[in-house]
Structure 1
């Protein structure tokens, strides 16, 4: 849906910069061989598809993606997915960390990543820079935020959202006045006195229908609109991060406003957050809508066949395309592309990320000759509260459950994080294994 005529600026006034994320240690082992934005979501997408798609839907088609850690699969996905025709002025350009005559070090933080690439942005006319994270789940029309930025004559606008106390200590928390101008910022506060000082009060509680029976806080979403000159000047120096360094400094000297986003927003920063966000998509009315025809989420076209489901029972689950499910029972689970699930197997509260390829009969026989199960989930197995990464081989008569086990544990061929079992990418669980 094109509503650009409603806004006072041209898409050519803005460039989008998407941060590829750091090492993603809290999402390990899903980030063992891939960057955080390359982590699969919803059975067929990657996390980076969210900000790229929202930017495209907002009419902002000049997009830079800054990458560093484990970036090969992320690069491949972007190159295979996002191509504009020769007659448009749109592009999705990858800027990987590199050695230059001015420096031979990796990005030291979010601000440093942008600082090192200012020379590339300067090649394209723009007045504003929209900076986004590559590992979040939400849906926003960025044009509304940019329009507010212009109307308030802001130097910087920060996207913020209300969060409960249990999330506040892990995020950057802000205090704003009635004009939505940011007057204070604190990074990941732990002290009760500080939290009390930053709690949201009226009129914002009433205006945004925030529950009054418990404490809520405005948290930075890691989404920023900078005026070009403000960004360039702010990045002169050694400060590495926007949240910890740049924004708190600018609050004292510049017009820094907030754009309050009241909708669903999830920072996919932990295994628990990733697991819950995926399983929420299995509900009829999930928090995030992948079925919005006006703001579609794009991803790589794989041209897969429909899923084949034979003599199976499936309840409250999401099944991606290209799957073959035979005689299984699947309850409240997300099944990714090309998944193979054999008879008499039960999956419950499980996120199965799927496969990158179909195994031929000769490949399967060769694997069995080496004592390996076939790719997918074998016969007569029971799996609950588990994340199974891509291209895994789960044998027959396998039982996987975190019940009675530590919240965090490293096994021989599995991990437990936040009370959830994880089988890593390409993992092998032999026949008859009990986890």
Structure 2
């Protein structure tokens, strides 16, 4: 893999994940307690032996930048030709920000060309999956392909959100439509379509030629799926590579966590008895920045007060957190959280440094970093009241509290029992960068 360079596209706004992306890029959003979404593409590269990586950023990149600098640079030795470089828009070619996926790579064409790779692996930095890119590069070289596209089988309804391919008996791509209203199914199987995963292997010289050609097309959207791939399938050797999952489960695992509901479901799957995504597999580890902090602690404190337990069941509790007389059920608790006495957290995701006050109740919620839930507060029980407080509530009823939001206790009609003060949402003018 010494002749392969990976280019990871990590500059998207992630607007469908707001407020989680209000202060950070989508690839920097925490996942599974101690990880970031970008860790999956990066770990796949490292496990595949790819050690030349460009990470292209654009919006709200400081959190991702800090994560890479603290947790990932240790794996690469510049003296051996290894690197992971964070590249914001350079405006070296023109004065525009990245106009699309192809334009992002085009604007960094000089940096890529300088390394003289034989092949360029292009990845999205916001998907959850395990994949050996080395096998795909080998397939690309074996087929003498100009371009190889990783392919995943999905149902027709889901395929409307993807680029959909048609292939012949040799897996050569003979048709490609980006997000079609009526996706074409696999021949002989009307319930499955062949979708692009947004993972591409280009022969380097061919990539440069196509990027230069596309840049001179005034009506192009500068996108791989919309412009580059459809324009070359008839004239060049373009193949599909069937997704080979390194997750070692009965079904292939690949998730686009682009919405709050999809993100919530993917996290909640991790706490099931036999989760579809195996995070404990040492043969294909997912790496991240590991902060030096003490183990999690569970405090019961005696039986002097009924209901004070200090326990977590069917949950992930990260280091540095203290369950101090509270109860956690079917939840993910990040670093340095504190669940105080008589509090109950269920079916929820807590990012780092969240504090849940005494007697507070949290249900089906995502609480971002540093948020403090006051004593007696109830979140996720009266969704209309949560909306009136300014909280984000999804169609499936997930309540989201963003980073930097302050919930202060006030008396209002949202308190159904009339005895527990209900929260009111305010915005901090100063937010943490991470």
Structure 2 CA distance for partners of 1:131 and 1:384, relative to 1, 3 Å: same
1:117 lines up with 2:94 in the alignment: no
The aligned counterpart of 1:343 is: 341
The aligned counterpart of 1:233 is: 209
Partner SS, residue 396 of structure 1: coil
Structure 2 CA distance for partners of 1:411 and 1:75, relative to 1, 3 Å: farther
Q: Aligned-pair distance for 1:201? A: 3.6
Structure 2 CA distance for partners of 1:403 and 1:147, relative to 1, 3 Å: farther
1:77 lines up with 2:67 in the alignment: yes
C-alpha contact 1:402 1:416 (8 A) present in aligned 2:
no
C-alpha contact 1:21 1:135 (8 A) present in aligned 2:
no
The aligned counterpart of 1:221 is: 197
1:417 to 391, 394, 400: 394
Residue ranges of structure 1 left out of the alignment (5+ in a row): 1-10, 206-213, 356-374
Partner SS, residue 249 of structure 1: helix
CA shift digits 1:140-190 (9 cap, x unpaired): 011111111111111111011111233222222112222111111112122
Q: Using the alignment, how far apart are the partners of 2:145 and 2:262 within structure 1?
A: 33
CA shift digits 1:318-354 (9 cap, x unpaired): 1111101112221111111111111111111101112
1:97 lines up with 2:95 in the alignment: no
Q: Using the alignment, how far apart are the partners of 2:400 and 2:78 within structure 1?
A: 43
CA RMSD of aligned residues (A): 1.8
1:66 lines up with 2:43 in the alignment: no
C-alpha contact 2:28 2:36 (8 A) present in aligned 1:
yes
C-alpha contact 1:324 1:341 (8 A) present in aligned 2:
yes
Partner SS, residue 17 of structure 1: strand
2:258 to 269, 287, 303: 269
CA shift digits 1:99-133 (9 cap, x unpaired): 33x31110001000000001001111210000011
Q: Using the alignment, how far apart are the partners of 1:242 and 1:46 within structure 2?
A: 25
1:334 lines up with 2:324 in the alignment: no
Count of aligned positions: 388
Written as runs of structure 1 = structure 2, the 5 A alignment for 1:32-431 is 32-83=22-73, 84-85=76-77, 87-100=79-92, 102-190=93-181, 194-195=182-183, 198-202=184-188, 215-236=191-212, 237-238=214-215, 239=220, 240-261=222-243, 263-311=252-300, 312-355=310-353, 376-401=355-380, 405=384, 411-418=388-395, 419-431=397-409
Q: Using the alignment, how far apart are the partners of 2:382 and 2:164 within structure 1?
A: 35
Partner SS, residue 375 of structure 2: coil
Q: Using the alignment, how far apart are the partners of 2:204 and 2:145 within structure 1?
A: 12
Structure 2 CA distance for partners of 1:284 and 1:89, relative to 1, 3 Å: farther
C-alpha contact 2:6 2:54 (8 A) present in aligned 1:
yes
Q: Aligned-pair distance for 1:308? A: 0.5
1:20 to 2, 5, 10: 10
Partner SS, residue 2 of structure 2: helix
Deviates more, 1:397-406 or 1:30-39: 397-406
C-alpha contact 2:9 2:124 (8 A) present in aligned 1:
yes
Structure 2 CA distance for partners of 1:259 and 1:383, relative to 1, 3 Å: same
The aligned counterpart of 2:306 is: none
Q: Using the alignment, how far apart are the partners of 1:379 and 1:403 within structure 2?
A: 19
Q: Using the alignment, how far apart are the partners of 2:233 and 2:78 within structure 1?
A: 42
C-alpha contact 2:156 2:192 (8 A) present in aligned 1:
yes
Q: Using the alignment, how far apart are the partners of 1:40 and 1:332 within structure 2?
A: 18
Q: Using the alignment, how far apart are the partners of 1:103 and 1:223 within structure 2?
A: 26
Partner SS, residue 13 of structure 2: coil
Q: Using the alignment, how far apart are the partners of 1:218 and 1:15 within structure 2?
A: 26
